[in-house]
Amino acid sequence: MEEIAEQGAVPALEVTLDLVAEDQALREVIGAPLVTRIARATDDSDGVITIPHMKDWPYTGSRFLTNGFWEAWAQSVLSEDDARKFAEANLKTYQLERLEEMINAANGISAGKPSRSSGSPGSTKPR
């Protein structure tokens, strides 16, 4: 241990990917946001939120959407004002399902088949 302390600083590692340096170039390929009306207009709100393109979300936002944690998704992805509008709209499940479909479509994600476990063809179930 003394030998390491005497050597001083840790040797610099060669960086093969610098996301900080490439940030601006990476941002240029992000798609357009999805502007969505989620509630009727009131005196306090136009009922419209802007959902950033999925490539611009923090990783946790994608996890929250996939697992149906809508409040956490809104807080991690939307602006503070839009997250408030989203919470106040108190959307129904069928509306959230449609919103998720639109988010996925806007990001080039196809619906696919549900991943329900039906057992493998060779499974041994009691008859």
94 part of a folded domain: yes
Q: Which element (helix H / strand E) includes 61?
A: helix 59-66
Q: Which domain holds residue 54?
A: 44-107
The whole-model pTM stands at 0.69
Tell how far CA 53 is from the center of its chain.
9
Quick check: is 71 in a domain? yes
Tokens in use for 60?
């946790």
Looking at the chain, the number of H-run helices and the number of E-run strands are 6, 2
Query: DSSP class of residue 55?
Result: G
Reading the chain (127 residues) residue by residue, the pLDDT tens digits are 445 455 667 778 888 888 888 888 888 878 888 898 988 888 778 889 999 999 999 999 999 999 999 999 999 999 999 999 999 999 999 999 999 999 999 888 877 655 444 444 554 555 5
> Residue 52 domain-assigned?
yes
Q: How many domains does the chain have?
A: 1
Please tell me the distance from the alpha carbon of residue 123 to that of residue 4, in angstroms, as a whole number. Answer: 57
